[in-house]
Structure 1
Amino acid sequence: MAPTALPQFARALRSLNYRRYFIGQLISLAGTWMQQIAMSWLAYRLTHSALVLGMISFFGQIPILLFASVGGVWVDRVDRRKLLLATQFLAMMQAGVLAIVSWQALATPTLLMVLAFALGCLNALDVPARQAVAVQLVDNPDDLPNAIALNALLMNGARFVGPALAGVVVAEAGETACFVLNALSYLAVLAALAGIRLSAVPKSRGSALAAFHGGYRYALQHPTIRLLLLLVAGVSFFATSYSAMLPIFAREVFGGGARTYGLLVGSAGVGSLIASLVLAARDPAKPVGNLIAWAAPGIGFCLALFALTPWLGLAFVELMALGFCVIVTVAGSNTVIQSEVDEAYRGRVVGLYSMAFLGVSPLGSLAVGALAHAWGTRPTLLCGAFVTVLLGLTYRHVALGLGHAASGTRPDNPRR
């Protein structure tokens, strides 16, 4: 299919740079998801501990909470393509080390936590850069919201394919094979980045500390951005950490193994993929904020249903619905934020978004792991579901009061 014949929901792919980037990232992110599934399964196979699973997730994502805002400052000050080349190459090296450790049977919970932390530090730079670079990859600035939605589609397409492949590969060839395949998958995105040329964007000047403070001040003074960052952070802490407990559900609740685990994660990925398609295909004139207002409380309802179900088939459906609501909320929030933000602050604001979505999640994973160890998995998830419903309903009330947050219309920029 020629680029000019692409459907409306994929209009950003008409830009050659974005098309190359999209294909490279699709391959690489599928490998990344394979590694995440294999690493969690390896940790659970070695320890059979909910606490260790929570700790692995914690150490993999806590660097984003600690360093993503600093990474956002870098994104606004350096060449984003070169930054991505560096982070992707180093991530490939991390996957190679993990493969060697697994192959030689040297893996321990402590070593897995160290390697997860190393990758998390790279992601603190890589994730804000990947979010911010979208505006430079599209030829038409009007295609930016579609590019953001396609980025979510990219992530969730990989989230669907990666876990399903990982479940088969782990069952047939072991965790090491997943780590090797992930290392090789980085070659695709490195080749794509080597072939693209980015348009120029304004670079942040002055001291890094002043830029850091300026990014926080800008986000806090912008009512829509502030509200959405708080919503995403709440969802990440109380709801999305359920994924750290899926190995326990796979084995102890549903009596399965690695393949069941991969299918559970893949089911959430299917729902996320559908949500990404809905966001990509939506009419730009229709407010995405209205979708968020319905999906945010829906996350809690779906999580509660999953926590209570004793049937594997029903769990697949509930996780699909949960994945749908999560992505409508977080990816829809990203679309509104990036549509609202001033270009001079883009890297720093998407750094804060990365903190809210990915950085807060490890705190939730650590809390869920500890509480599940003490109380049990189902009661812990039910508590998170209840709080998430309250958060979603609170957001809906406040957003309707603000008006622009619910409709997605842009208010005047706050004082900078």
Structure 2
Amino acid sequence: MESFIALKSRNFKLFFIGQSVSLLGTWIQKTAIAWLVYKLTGSPFILGLIVFVGLIPTLLLSPYVGSFIERCHKYKVMKNTQWLAALQALLLAILIYLKYYNITAIVLLSLMQGVINAFDVTCRQAMMIDLVDDKEALPNAIALNSAMTNLARVIGPALAGVLLSAFGEDFCFISNFLSFIPVLYCLYLMKLPAFIKNEEEINVLNKLKEGFIYVKSEKRILSQLLLLSFFSLMLIPFTTLLPVLAKEVFNGNSQTFTIFESAVGIGALISAIYMTSLKKMEKLYNSIILSSIIMGIGLGIIAFSHTIWLASIGLVLSGLGMICQSASINTYIQLHTVPEMRSRVISYYIMAFLGMTPIGSLIIGLIAEFLNTRTVLLLEGFLGIFSLSLFVWYNYKIEKELDTELKIINEE
């Protein structure tokens, strides 16, 4: 089938299987830690702080990581990051099992995970093209990877809700540690071409500068990265408020929270399935616009909803818009960036998508300490529609400039 063409590649199939299990464990732990932290502190700001320390390394390190990965064997880097991530998961599981509920320790381990992820995420994205036998299957591989991630986002929180009620938080954290076994096993089964080391002396600062100049010169890529950066700063951190929405706004419990997490995941999964079936890559620009509108509307619905189910519909739309926008931009970058710049541009994409989110989580968490949750969500939705308007205007201006240049060339 066209929608699963990337799975014909043995290496991508192994990657897909291993990551499917690992991401399931990640979402079980992510749900458990958010609920545990809010239960212990009752503070939206502390929730934002946990997200902040877990993702801020991505913002600070991504440009350097992109240049570093360009001269390393990506396969070995990914194996090392998975081992380190398994160690971090084990330490956190031991901490919770011993019921040592120390926020400082949780913050430090979240920071450790953030540093590991800064390398792992960039490496996985840059390595994607090496995992498929047919380069034309790359868009499908990206879309399947997104679908896998978001299916885990649906199932993980639902499982976490059951595990939290039946066995407690410690079982969720132990489950995440165990989920690293299949991903490591699948990684060691892969057969990738031998790595040819570039002996040329590389100046990382010069590489960074070249990457920045390239992004700046590619106006369409630049505009998409700026849009994604703003959404990551001001809209995507709505997920930080889900425990507050569940407990304070709807007077719910851990099950309510997992319903909300799963609703976001369902929307994200629908988006990922859509991306796997997208045949015409020229529709990516339309996907970016439509998904941004859907996310803004979704946040507005949540803000005005007075039932759990109406809020869940808003969360489905928000999740759909969030992932469709980021996946469309990711696919556009992968397809339109010259090979020698791909790792560096991907690092800017990751910085825009994941790197801005921690700052946004801190800002949104702080605002939520003073404004009610509904007002914050409504403000986020409005800012999303406003920023999209600027994006559409800027791209219209780019098209007009290109048309003018083309007419001048034809006249000459």
Which TM-score band (shorter chain)?
over 0.9
Once the two structures are superposed, the pairs formed by residues 58-207 of structure 1 within 5 Å of their partners are 58-199=52-193, 205=200, 206-207=202-203
Task: Give the letter aligned to residue 36 of structure 1.
Answer: K
- Runs of 4 or more consecutive aligned structure 1 residues displaced over 3 Å after TM superposition: 199-205, 400-404
Which digits, 9 at most, give the CA deviation of each residue in 1:2-47, with x for residues without a partner?
A: xxxxx11111111111011001001101111111111111111111
Which digits, 9 at most, give the CA deviation of each residue in 1:190-226, with x for residues without a partner?
A: 1111111224688775222222222222112111211
What TM-score do the two structures reach when normalised by structure 1?
0.92
Which digits, 9 at most, give the CA deviation of each residue in 1:68-127, with x for residues without a partner?
A: 111111221101111010111111111111111111121222211111111000011001
Counterpart of 1:23 in structure 2 is: 17
Summarize the Cα distance change of 1:214–1:286 in structure 2 as closer, same or farther, 3 Å threshold: closer
For the Cα contact (< 8 Å) 2:330–2:349, is it kept in 1? yes
Counterpart of 2:44 in structure 1 is: 50
For the Cα contact (< 8 Å) 1:24–1:191, is it kept in 2? yes
Determine helix, strand or coil for the equivalent of 1:133.
helix
What TM-score do the two structures reach when normalised by structure 2?
0.93
Q: Distance in 1 between matches of 2:376 and 2:232?
A: 15
Q: Distance in 1 between matches of 2:326 and 2:265?
A: 14
Q: Distance in 1 between matches of 2:338 and 2:281?
A: 20
For the Cα contact (< 8 Å) 2:28–2:156, is it kept in 1? yes
Q: Distance in 1 between matches of 2:193 and 2:335?
A: 18
Determine helix, strand or coil for the equivalent of 2:179.
helix
Counterpart of 1:399 in structure 2 is: 395
For the Cα contact (< 8 Å) 1:137–1:199, is it kept in 2? no
The equivalent position to 2:233 in structure 1, one of 225, 234, 237, is: 237
Consecutive unaligned residues of structure 1, counting only runs of 5 or more, are 1-6, 405-416
Task: Give the letter aligned to residue 15 of structure 1.
Answer: S
Q: Distance in 2 between matches of 1:10 and 1:89?
A: 29
Matched, 1:296 2:292: yes
Summarize the Cα distance change of 1:393–1:203 in structure 2 as closer, same or farther, 3 Å threshold: farther
Q: Distance in 2 between matches of 1:121 and 1:394?
A: 33
Task: Give the letter aligned to residue 168 of structure 1.
Answer: V
Summarize the Cα distance change of 1:179–1:312 in structure 2 as closer, same or farther, 3 Å threshold: same
Counterpart of 1:224 in structure 2 is: 220
For the Cα contact (< 8 Å) 1:35–1:178, is it kept in 2? yes
Matched, 1:287 2:283: yes
Matched, 1:306 2:268: no
Determine helix, strand or coil for the equivalent of 1:188.
helix
Determine helix, strand or coil for the equivalent of 2:72.
coil
Instruction: Out of 353-362 and 289-298, give the one that drifted further.
Output: 289-298
Number of equivalent positions? 398
Counterpart of 2:7 in structure 1 is: 13
Q: Distance in 2 between matches of 1:370 and 1:297?
A: 26
Consecutive unaligned residues of structure 2, counting only runs of 5 or more, are 401-412
Determine helix, strand or coil for the equivalent of 1:46.
helix
Which digits, 9 at most, give the CA deviation of each residue in 1:319-361, with x for residues without a partner?
A: 1111111111111110001101111111111111111001100
Task: Give the letter aligned to residue 263 of structure 1.
Answer: I
Q: Distance in 2 between matches of 1:111 and 1:213?
A: 37
Counterpart of 2:263 in structure 1 is: 267
For the Cα contact (< 8 Å) 2:64–2:208, is it kept in 1? yes
Deviation, 1:182, is 0.5
Q: Distance in 1 between matches of 2:196 and 2:146?
A: 25
Identity of aligned residues (%): 35
